[in-house]
Amino acid sequence: MLISATTLAADEKSIAITIDDLPLDDNTASIADKERYTLAILESLKRHGVVATAFVNEDKLLVKGEIDRHVALLERWLDAGMQLGNHNFGHLGLWQTALPSYQDAVVRGDTITRW
Ligand SMILES: [Zn+2]
């Protein structure tokens, strides 16, 4: 069913909860840390009845020896009822990147997530 903004009552409000930069890469976290953080975040979202959209940086999935565990983290988000989005390959900024390069990063950014 398609709900447009005009069908919502004037006093109904909603917000979108988004999580940036899966697989939760802060450049220092180990894969075990990422797994622990993921479970904690998902448990918190579930406890509060929140369905969030998490945006994936697929370049950060490609860590030698950790790809399968990173993909498994994405599956945990889906299994928890969350949605995944494409945050582009390389985490390029729209304003600092030439359009063709940005478009390439978007196309390349959901190869695994699309599975
Ligand atoms: Zn980001």
Interval 11-55: pLDDT, tens: 788 899 999 998 887 778 899 999 999 999 999 999 999 999 999
Domains, the chain, with CATH or none: 16-114 (3.20.20.370)
Ligand 1 centre from 4 Cα, in Å? Answer: 28
Ligand 1 centre from 13 Cα, in Å? Answer: 26
Position 6 pLDDT exceeds 50: yes
Q: Which pLDDT belongs to residue 8?
A: 62
Ligand 1 centre from 9 Cα, in Å? Answer: 33
- Sheet-wide strand order for 18-22: 18-22, 53-56, 83-86
CA angle 55, 98, 59 (to 5 degrees): 35
In angstroms, how far apart are the furthest CA atoms of the chain?
A: 51
Give the tens place of pLDDT for each residue, 101-115: 999 999 999 999 888
